[in-house]
Amino acid sequence: MFADKMILRIPGPTPIPPRVQQAMNQPMIGHRSGQFSELFARTAKRLKPYFGTSQDVFILAGSGTSALEMSVVNTLQPGEEAVILVSGAFGERFAKICERYGVIAHRLEVPWGKAVTPDLLQAFLSDKPQVKAVFATYCETSTGVLNPIRELAQVVRQHSDALFIVDAVSCLGAVACEMDAWGVDIVVTGSQKAFMLPTGLAFLAASERAWQVIDQKKPLAFYLDLKAYRKSLAENTTPYTPAVSLVFGLDEVCSMLEEEGLPAIIKRHELMRDMTRAAMRALNVPLMAEDAYASPTVTSCDPQGAFDAEELRKVLRTRHNVVIAGGQQHLKGKIFRIGHMGYCEPLDVLQVIAALELSLRQIGAPVELGAGVKAAQEVLFAHV
Amino acid sequence: MFADKMILRIPGPTPIPPRVQQAMNQPMIGHRSGQFSELFARTAKRLKPYFGTSQDVFILAGSGTSALEMSVVNTLQPGEEAVILVSGAFGERFAKICERYGVIAHRLEVPWGKAVTPDLLQAFLSDKPQVKAVFATYCETSTGVLNPIRELAQVVRQHSDALFIVDAVSCLGAVACEMDAWGVDIVVTGSQKAFMLPTGLAFLAASERAWQVIDQKKPLAFYLDLKAYRKSLAENTTPYTPAVSLVFGLDEVCSMLEEEGLPAIIKRHELMRDMTRAAMRALNVPLMAEDAYASPTVTSCDPQGAFDAEELRKVLRTRHNVVIAGGQQHLKGKIFRIGHMGYCEPLDVLQVIAALELSLRQIGAPVELGAGVKAAQEVLFAHV
């Protein structure tokens, strides 16, 4: 087993393509140089299609959570009210951030593994006309659920004056996002998922409607003050020191995404989702998300006691050098999650399924070797 | 001129050593893996000597400014009062962060190019017993002044109960810092200066005394909540996604720093400072900082109208591929700054001086070619 040939199939960070790695190896340059300004302005513009927006996209040195917080501290004031759609660990994080700043958080919770449906949201909003913002998670990484953002946006638009703010960290760049057309006000994401970069950058775009609110508010923080980023971006720079080497990489990532084209990227991820799900069904491993709300980027499986998810992960890691994710919070130790996004192709999915089958047998779980692979192959064959 | 052979002599970001670059090229790993935990715990411990502390050092995905803000939002509450020592652009940033959170900022300002002396601080503090924190800048990057932190700490300790919080972004790892012995409560720094990494990481350490205050306060922000970082570091991890590839690099940086040894590193930087200053004196270019307060990491020069600083920088950049920094804020266009820190050796200083002499002649300034180089060589010769 080659130690450096680890197969990383978690829902982020995802593997770095060699040409992106190479781009990040460029010699360091000054972050206030003309060379960096040109690079920065170009990459910021190249991100727009993945958000589906004509608005500015801001690039922040920080993790996804810093961008979630940025969407809160620029749009709300203490004492104001917000609705948070909580379908897992990351929805709950939005609520915690709001509460840290004295924002009253009304949680619309669904069981982990379920999506928040438009009907649920409409009912929940009906007696809360005072709400200033609705926060949703596009892909809930902890469960593999893709919430129906387009439909949820419609509900917010028709039944409320609130801003609609979306955490798209673990799916943007791999799924459709039409921020402007759908009426989403703020979308945030991170670099280490479908954008195939190391962790360390976060991206945010805001609608005109959001800017009207932001312009009237005093920002509640400093490093995350969006108005400072807007002022700097107009001059092709950042208010504070940007993560230069990651921006080198981002520029190359944009080239890769443009070469493949967003429609093809979206199809590739849907295909990998369908292959993974077909394999799990063939192996009798229960899936957490329903078909209608299954994320194209991550699949969660709940063995429900048929075998030990942690034992499976351990054998995959130690005997096959394949890394998949476990559960978070109350699902820790109970479920496993397979990431299939970014620098990942259908054949990579076949590989991880094959290793998973071997590992299932190695931990003594009932499994027919090849059954999952065959089911996934059938899905792939029908597509190519 | 080789386009990729740019000579970067600004006060950060600084050049990346090849072996650090190589370390950052390791394949991505999961940030919740045992492999990352081990790496993370090791590097956090290896940072302690540069802070001069036995306390934990926290590693944050963000730029230096995010760490400055972290030192504010965990130690102060709105309406509380702080003293800010302002000797340039970065001192002023501390004040602005405090004010963003409703902290009352008393500015002790000195002209740019001057240091804040212990006497000044003592007098300023004498009628402000209510002050909860004193913020200082160790190396004021905008002027090349190294404030006397050790002596300032003594004043704070003897004349106040306030916490003493220090921005050491542009010097830590290149100058002495004995946080515990000097009685400094919080020290923050960034990755892209003496630590020879790309931008994107910030580091912070807090004294026991600081922790007593922090434990009693409600943090004013979420991503920058120090208690969350302490809880996670105890488990060898981070509360939010860490910048994995930069931590790979940091581990290698620590190896380099340990191989050279901190005393030798400090001497090397002092030598480069002395060489640069001797050269500038020989070239009749006025220095901004006095000898007693000159930073070993960056030298600011003020031609005072004898020639155009921006023209000099332009010729250096376009004809010699040497990049030095200009002035910030009201000194924009008036001064120039030479960075000599991190992956930089005495011979690199001779090179930048030689290029500077050529450029001075090219812009028509009176200059004797070789005079600055000779003066710097004399300093070097006396040391080797």
**Which of B:211-250 have CB within 8 Å of A?**
219, 221-225, 239-246
- pLDDT for the residue B2: 84
| CB pair distance less than 8 Å for A63 and B240 | yes
| CB pair distance less than 8 Å for B62 and A325 | no
Indicate the SS3 state at residue A190. Answer: strand
> pLDDT-derived band of residue B232, with 50, 70 and 90 as boundaries?
very high
Tokens of B24: 């950052």
In whole numbers, what is the pLDDT of chain B averaged over residues?
Answer: 97
Task: Name which of B4, B63, B242 is nearest A61 (Cβ-Cβ).
Answer: B63
Residue whose C-alpha is closest to residue B265's, from B174, B165, B144, B141: B174
Chain A positions touching B343 (Cβ under 8 A) are none
**Which of A:5-24 have CB within 8 Å of B?**
6, 8, 10, 12-16, 21, 24
Longest CA–CA span in chain B (Å) reads 62
What phi-psi label fits residue B47: left (phi over 0), alpha (psi between -120 and 50 degrees) or beta?
alpha
> pLDDT-derived band of residue B361, with 50, 70 and 90 as boundaries?
very high
> pLDDT-derived band of residue A2, with 50, 70 and 90 as boundaries?
confident
Which residue of chain B is at minimal alpha-carbon distance from A25?
Answer: B21
Cβ distance B219 to B227 under 8 Å? yes
In whole numbers, what is the pLDDT of chain A averaged over residues?
Answer: 97
> pLDDT-derived band of residue B1, with 50, 70 and 90 as boundaries?
confident
Chain B positions touching A243 (Cβ under 8 A) are 63, 198-200, 243
| CB pair distance less than 8 Å for B62 and A13 | no
The helix (run of H) or strand (run of E) holding residue B98 is helix B89-100
Indicate the SS3 state at residue A251. Answer: helix
Peptide bond just before A13 cis, omega within 30 deg: yes
Q: How far is B182 from chain A (nearest CA, A)?
A: 29
Euclidean distance between CA atoms A175 and B86, whole angstroms: 48
- pLDDT for the residue B283: 97
Chain A positions touching B66 (Cβ under 8 A) are 61-62, 66, 223, 240
Assembly ipTM? 0.89
CA distances from B178 to A208, A266, B60, B207 (A): 50, 54, 21, 12
Euclidean distance between CA atoms A201 and A66, whole angstroms: 9
Euclidean distance between CA atoms A169 and A94, whole angstroms: 12
Q: How many CB atoms lie within 10 A of CB B34?
A: 11
Angle, vertex CA A299, rays to CA A150 and CA A135, nearest 5:
35
Query: Region B180-209: what's the mean pLDDT?
Result: 97
DSSP B28: P
pLDDT in tens, A333-378: 999 999 999 999 999 999 999 999 999 999 999 999 999 999 999 9
Q: Is the pLDDT of residue B53 over 90?
A: yes
Residue whose C-alpha is closest to residue A256's, from A16, A34, A90, A84: A16
Tell me the sheet residues that pair with B142: none
Residue whose C-alpha is closest to residue A141's, from A185, A70, A100, A189: A189
Tokens of B286: 């006025």
pLDDT in tens, A62-101: 999 999 999 999 999 999 999 999 999 999 999 999 999 9
Beta strand pairing status for A139-140 and A145-146? antiparallel
Task: Name which of B8, B32, B61 is nearest A29 (Cβ-Cβ).
Answer: B8
Indicate the SS3 state at residue B81. Answer: strand
Instruction: Please indicate if the annotation marks B157 as binding a ligand.
Output: no
Euclidean distance between CA atoms A128 and A136, whole angstroms: 16
Q: Is the pLDDT of residue A1 over 80?
A: no
DSSP B200: -
| CB pair distance less than 8 Å for A28 and B10 | no
Q: How far is B159 from chain A (nearest CA, A)?
A: 30
Query: Region A144-167: what's the mean pLDDT?
Result: 98
What chain B holds in terms of domains, given with CATH numbers, is 7-13+261-383 (3.90.1150.10), 18-258 (3.40.640.10)
Most A-contacting residue of B14, B33, B245, B336 (CB-CB within 10 A), to test interface: B245
Q: How many CB atoms lie within 10 A of CB B215?
A: 11
* Residue B9 φ then ψ, to 5°: -125, 55
In chain B, the percentage of residues whose pLDDT exceeds 70 is: 100
Contacts of A125 (CB under 8 A, 6+ apart): A83, A131, A134, A155, A156, A159, A160, A162
* Residue A334 φ then ψ, to 5°: -105, -35
Euclidean distance between CA atoms B319 and A162, whole angstroms: 55
Beta strand pairing status for B57-61 and B201-206? antiparallel
Tokens of B205: 């350490």
Give chain A's count of helices (H) and strands (E): 15, 14
pLDDT in tens, B265-300: 999 999 999 999 999 999 999 999 999 999 999 999
Cβ distance B43 to B24 under 8 Å? no
In DSSP notation, A165-186 reads EEE-TTTBTTB---HHHHT--E
Euclidean distance between CA atoms A236 and A56, whole angstroms: 11
3-state helix, strand, coil in chain B (%, to 5): 45, 15, 40
Indicate the SS3 state at residue B208. Answer: helix
* Residue B34 φ then ψ, to 5°: -60, -35
Beta strand pairing status for A201-206 and A298-301? unpaired
> pLDDT-derived band of residue B384, with 50, 70 and 90 as boundaries?
confident
Residues in chain B: 384
* Residue B300 φ then ψ, to 5°: -100, 135
Tokens of B69: 């803000």
In chain B, the percentage of residues whose pLDDT exceeds 90 is: 98
Angle, vertex CA B343, rays to CA B342 and CA B344, nearest 5:
90
Angle, vertex CA A62, rays to CA B234 and CA B324, nearest 5:
115
Euclidean distance between CA atoms A367 and B29, whole angstroms: 29
Residue whose C-alpha is closest to residue A254's, from A9, A34, A41: A41
> pLDDT-derived band of residue B5, with 50, 70 and 90 as boundaries?
confident
Tokens of B379: 């300093």
Euclidean distance between CA atoms A129 and B375, whole angstroms: 74
Burial class (CB in 10 A: 0-12, 13-18, 19+), A256: middle
- pLDDT for the residue B288: 97
Q: Is the pLDDT of residue A276 over 80?
A: yes
